[in-house]
Every structure is written in structure tokens, then in C-alpha cells.
Structure 1
Amino acid sequence: MQRKAPARGFEQAEFQARTQKAQALMAQQGLEGLLLMTEPDVRYFSGFHTLFWQSPTRPWFLFIPASGKPVAVIPEIGAALMRQTWIEDIRSWSAPAPQDDGISLLHELLAPLARRGARLGILKGHETSLRMPLGDWERLVRALPGLQLTDATGLIQGLRMVKSAAEIEKLAHICTIGSATFDQVPKQISQGMPLEEVFRAFRREALAQGADDTPYLVGGAGPGGYADVISPPSRRPLQAGDILMLDTGATWDGYFCDFDRNFAIETADDAARRAYDVLWRATEAGLAAAQPGNSCQDLFQAMQGVIAELDDQSGDIGRLGHGLGMQLTEQPSHADFDCTRLQEGMVLTLEPSLGYGDGLIMVHEENIVIRADGAELLTRRAPPELPVI
């Protein structure tokens, strides 16, 4: 059945609101600018959406001033696309230019801040990276001796954790596509099918259901279970008694779903059925705990309390879910160390996992949005008993 897709892109008001929220926080923290360099952060404030980020050759920069619209400092190859966004001040250079890849333009933009000893926010924290040559960064900093570089990781990640209604609509759409794709798996695979063909069939179906791409698809299959959750597929054919897991990150208009499903081939042993049952109930506990005001630590402990019925600790993957949006994984983490408070509008994964048997693990994952009265599923809930194909 064909689903009505949301509109692609966003209205200009969306980017204005994001920028104004950032600028209000900047004022509170005494920042006169933010310098952003990575694809999701640049896209979040500009709407600049392209797969050209796959190339590591060129750096890209977006400057958020204390007031007014952002300023793009980008390679000339991206100028035409950037002009289709709400950004008006676009400063470009012919790139690649290893001797001066935008550094002179950045210096010109930031020099007034440096002269008055202003504070510039950059991202230094967990899940951030410097997407430019380290040597170029060091050269830029040396040329701006008065500039005070301040960590703005919390500011940016805090904004991006809470999704707008328009973002949630896109996330709900790709989760619906992902759910419909998983619904077709029992009709498309069977005993004897090589695992790599299972992966290809899933990707084809995701595109047929309306996904733009499936950049992330991992999983595993083996007798009674699987031993890891990040493997590329092999040529090994599916066999009776295998447990198959597929974990997908499909995209639509630049937003991800991220969830998995488990299937038994022909038959399932008691250990696998028991592991599945524990994880399904752990997810139920997570759904009940996903209330505004509770913490990610609370979510973790609610799920871990059920997992403890069975877990032998061999399946410890460090956290039991995370944020979701323009990236497959975003802040926060459902872990014992993360005290982030849940807020209405957060989109999250619930991803309990456990170890059982002889080195086997099992993972279960759903995608949710936090509403005023608790969790709303964006994915179609997995069945309470392990499906058998």
C-alpha cells in the first residue's frame, strides 16, 4: 500500500527557529559565534543536503554569528546548491587547494572576533570530529591569537536531541518504510539462501517501499544464534535452526530509522526463544520508563533489570539505545553513565541486548518518540514470540 510521504526539505522558518535557539544559548554562554564543520551540523542550520560529503577532499564550514543568518565558507563546487538554501552570505574558493583550503576566507571572517578577544564555540566533545586537516586548523588558530575557543558540544547536541514536528514526521515516515520492509522478509528468504543474497533482497525491498537509500545494513546468522551484530554478510547459506538478525539504517530525506528484527529459520531452540522473550519484555520495560523527566540512566536500568534474568554479560555492547535523527546514532546514550533527562520531542532507539549459550548474543531494537504522556512507537512493534520462517 502506497503511503503519503511528507514534503521534502523544510520551510525557511524551521532554519530560522533553529538558528535563533542557538543564538539565544550563545548569548547565555557569552559566545559571539559558532564554527561548524561536519555534515549533520552544517545541514541542521542551512538545509545543505548532498552526498558530496562522502569525498574527504574538501573541507566545509558554516559560521553562526551572534545575530543574523549563518555564513557559509565552502568550496565553489557547492556554491550553486548552497544558494538554493536560505543562506545568503556564501564565500567560496576553488578547491581543492592544499595550500589554502578556505583558511584565508575563514581568517577574514573570524579576525574581527579575534581582535576583541571574543569567544568562538567549536565542538570538542564526545561524538564530534574536526573535519579539516589538523595542520590547517593549527595554522588558523595561530593566525587568530586573541580568539577564545570554547566547547559548544552541549549546546549543539542539546538542540539536535529535541526534534521539531517536521523532523519527527520524516523520522516516522522512514520508520514506517523500514517496518514495511521487514514485513516482507518472511516472503523473500528461505533455507539455503546465502546471507549476502538476504542482504541484497532486503535493500531492494527497502528501495521499493520508498527508502532513498540503505547505507547501513548489518546482521548475522548461525545455529541457535549469532556472535556479533556488525558483520558484513557471507556466502554461507541459511540453515534450519539458524537465528537470523538484520539491523537496518535506511534513510528518507536525510533522516534515519535504526532497528533490527530476529527470525528463526525452520525451527528455533528453547535458548533462542527464551533470549527473545527476555529482550521483548526488556523493551516493554524501556517503553514504560520512556517518560519525560526520566533519565537515560533510568531507561538503561529498567531494561537491564529484565535482561539480568538471563544475561551472562558476554553480550555487553556498552549501552542499550541512543538518539536518532540525521545520523544513525546520535546523543544521548541509554547507559548507566548518561543522566540526560528525556524531553518531549526526543527520538530514540531502545536497544536491549544480552548474551546466552556458547558465546551467542541477541539484540532487539525499536524506535520511539517521547511525547508528553510517554513513548510513542515509530516502528511497528516486533511480535512477542520469535518469528519462524
Structure 2
Amino acid sequence: MSKHQSDFSARLTAVRSALKSAGVDALWVSQPENVNYLSGFSSPEDAKALILPDGAWLYTDGRYTLQAAQESAIPVFIARSPETLQHAAPLLSGLNVGFEMQHLTVAELGELQAHWPAEPAPLSGVVEGLRLIKSEAEVQLIEQAQAIADAAFAEILPLIKAGAREQDLALALESAMRRLGADGPAFETIVASGVRGALPHGRASDKVLAESELVTIDFGARLGGYFSDSTRTLALGEVSESQRRMYTAVLEAEETALAAIKPGVRTADLDALAREVLGRYDLADAFVHSLGHGVGLNVHEGPGLRSTSEEVLQAGMVITIEPGVYIEHLGGVRIEDLVLVTDEGSRVLSHSPKERF
């Protein structure tokens, strides 16, 4: 058995164990990243997977006949619904089958009910729970994606100056990532300068950067199906005391949270640490999102680093730490690093320099 096949065999064994704990025998997989995770097929938006007690199938259509044959670690059935469901029906005889309730429409559930012998059971988070802990190969891909993003950011640093247009910076950064080996950007690059920095997800616009502004750039690369994610905020010349204070607060909050990462720590406690720091600067109310999230086959996945989370860090998780402060008419600051939780503590995977002023 090849290493490629053994990796997927281990994942299938793990998901079958999770299904047994959930009280079902089989799983209809419709969440694209989960299809990818269990099969290796890189166009999962147009595919489903069926996990059985002693087998598995990938279902996709004729556009992907050759691609699926080349990529899939499990047998492939080429057809469209309802033929796919008709193929699966006899395989499910006498079995309890679950479906991913957060990734199946009411209409699609109706199709399953019409074609299958037993009533499908709604499940949530079965495969996502397995994806929380990254394998060595997964970490390597994420780290390579981040290295590409860091190198691309270093290339465009000389372009980040007064007179540059936000959209031009985003294009230059995304082009550099592709040229350096990325499959593409992880998401639409955020470039938000001046008062637009108060928009946490401010898409790059035709605004021109000006002296004495802050500019926030949130960027990542995609490689082999895996993502990276990091953010830097830079000063364009001399900035005001209010801007400096915002930046100092966010940097201190980020570094405090980074220092606390280790297995066994509640993600909600990390979020609270960062908010406590910002509170000392009277800026906690300007931190309007969670502290971070997991990164893998999705740029935003578990675990969630938010005040309401009950999740606990484990070695092998890859997470972001990204406190931010956003003030209308003034702007904003966000600093984000990508971090691997290790047995001993953590290892930061992102290495673009942070300003200190």
C-alpha cells in the first residue's frame, strides 16, 4: 500500500470509529472539504462520498472521469443523481446511514429519502472533528503555503507606500504568490488603508494610500488543497498618537495570546486574554470578532477561538491568533499569525515582520 493510500485508509478507519460512536453504520458525505479529506479528490464541490463499514465510494460526474481516476483513493462511480443514489441504495441495505445536516439541502434530503431503504439520520461535525488534528503531511503543506505567502509579501513590501492603490497591491501580492508556487490565493486579499481599516473584511478598493495612514493587509496562499492565513498592519510615515496606541494594544494582545498557546488551554481563555489586554487600553469594545480559528482544507475551520467556545487546544491543531481594533473615522489594526500547537507548546508558522512603533 502506498503512503498516499495508507493516509486515506487511516482516515477512513477513524471516521468509521466515529460513526460507530454516533450510532450509525454509514455516512453520506456532502461537505466538499470532507469529501476531499476522505478521498483526495480535488474538485469536491461536484462530488459526494459514501463511507460504508467495509468500503467507500466517490460519486462525481463525467466531467471528472479522468481526474477522479487519477486522484481518488477510493473507488469512483461516474453518474449524476438519481443514478448515484440508486447505486448506493443496495449498499445501504440493513444499515443505518447518517448525513451531514449542515451541508445538505432539504431538497437533497428528500432525494435520499426517496431512494434509500432507511431514514437517513442527521449528523454534525463527524469528519470535521477528525480534521482538527493535522498529520505531518498536512502541516507540511500548510507551512509551505505560508512560506509562499511570506515570500510574496516580502516582494511587495517596497510597493506599500503613499500613492499606491489598494487594488494594485492586492493584485501584486496574489500574482507573486502564484509565481512562487501557490495554486492561488487562499481568499480575496484584504487591503484596507486609512479610515477603511475600520472594515475588518475591507476588500481592496481603488483608494490610494496616503501618508500618515495605517494599512492592513490580510493574505494567504493555497497549496495542494490547504490554506495559510496571516495579517500585517503597516504605518505609512509618521502616524498619530491614537493610531500608535491602537497598534501597540493589538500587538501586545496578540503576543500575550501567542505566549499562552499549549495543549490543554481552552480557546475561550485565549480569547479572554487578548480582550483583557485590549481592555487596559479601553479598546476591548472595538474588538468585534473572535480571536482566531483553525486553518486547513478550509481557511476558516475548527477550532473556534471565541468566548463561547468549549474547545480545548490539542497538539496538531493549526490555528490563527488575530486580535483587531476597528474605530470608525480613525481606521483599524489587525495582526495575525498562523500557529501550530505542539506537544511542548506552539510553533509560529508565519514569519513576515511586524512593525514596532
User: Do these two structures clear the TM 0.5 threshold for a shared fold by scoring above it?
Assistant: yes
User: Counterpart of 2:319 in 1: which secondary structure?
Assistant: strand
AA of the residue aligned to 2:219:
T
User: Counterpart of 2:303 in 1: which secondary structure?
Assistant: strand
User: Counterpart of 2:193 in 1: which secondary structure?
Assistant: strand
TM-superposed CA distance for 1:365, in Å, is: 0.6
- How many pairs align? 355
2:293·2:305 contact (CA, 8 Å) conserved in 1?
A: yes
Q: Which runs of 5+ in 2 are unaligned?
A: none
Q: 2:128 aligned with 1:141, yes or no?
A: no
The verdict on how the C-alpha distance between 1:263 and 1:277 changes in structure 2, with shifts beyond 3 A counting, is: same
AA of the residue aligned to 2:233:
N
The alignment's C-alpha RMSD in Å is 2.3
Pairing partner for 2:296 from 310, 325, 336? 325
Pairing partner for 2:82 from 81, 96, 103? 103
Q: What's 1:315 paired with?
A: 286
AA of the residue aligned to 1:161:
L
- TM-score scaled to structure 1, two decimals? 0.84
Q: What's 1:218 paired with?
A: 190
Q: What's 2:16 paired with?
A: 23
TM-superposed CA distance for 1:351, in Å, is: 1.0
Pairing partner for 1:120 from 90, 94, 97? 97
AA of the residue aligned to 1:263:
L
TM-superposed CA distance for 1:284, in Å, is: 1.4
The worse-fitting range, judged by mean Cα deviation, of 320-329 and 279-288 is 279-288
Q: What's 1:6 paired with?
A: none
Q: 2:49 aligned with 1:62, yes or no?
A: yes
The verdict on how the C-alpha distance between 1:159 and 1:179 changes in structure 2, with shifts beyond 3 A counting, is: same
TM-superposed CA distance for 1:186, in Å, is: 2.6
- Quick one: distance in 2 between partners of 1:369 and 1:10? 23
1:315·1:361 contact (CA, 8 Å) conserved in 2?
A: no
1:190-201 pair list within 5 angstroms: 190-201=161-172
Output one character per residue of 1:322-357: Cα deviation in whole Å (capped at 9) or x when no partner. 000111111121111111111100000001112347
Pairing partner for 1:91 from 48, 52, 77? 77
Q: Which runs of 5+ in 1 are unaligned?
A: 1-8, 54-58, 94-100
1:182·1:261 contact (CA, 8 Å) conserved in 2?
A: no
User: Counterpart of 2:97 in 1: which secondary structure?
Assistant: strand
The verdict on how the C-alpha distance between 1:188 and 1:91 changes in structure 2, with shifts beyond 3 A counting, is: same
TM-superposed CA distance for 1:312, in Å, is: 4.0
1:103·1:140 contact (CA, 8 Å) conserved in 2?
A: no
The worse-fitting range, judged by mean Cα deviation, of 200-209 and 257-266 is 200-209
1:315·1:355 contact (CA, 8 Å) conserved in 2?
A: yes
2:215·2:233 contact (CA, 8 Å) conserved in 1?
A: yes
AA of the residue aligned to 1:34:
L
1:202-241 pair list within 5 angstroms: 202-214=173-185, 215-222=187-194, 226-241=197-212
Greater share of helix: 2
The worse-fitting range, judged by mean Cα deviation, of 366-375 and 245-254 is 245-254
The verdict on how the C-alpha distance between 1:383 and 1:136 changes in structure 2, with shifts beyond 3 A counting, is: closer
Q: 2:61 aligned with 1:75, yes or no?
A: yes
AA of the residue aligned to 1:371:
T
AA of the residue aligned to 1:83:
A
User: Counterpart of 2:171 in 1: which secondary structure?
Assistant: helix
- Quick one: distance in 1 between partners of 2:139 and 2:331? 35
- TM-score scaled to structure 2, two decimals? 0.92
- Quick one: distance in 2 between partners of 1:217 and 1:42? 26
The verdict on how the C-alpha distance between 1:12 and 1:283 changes in structure 2, with shifts beyond 3 A counting, is: same
The worse-fitting range, judged by mean Cα deviation, of 273-282 and 168-177 is 273-282
1:32·1:120 contact (CA, 8 Å) conserved in 2?
A: yes
- Quick one: distance in 1 between partners of 2:73 and 2:140? 24
1:218·1:248 contact (CA, 8 Å) conserved in 2?
A: yes
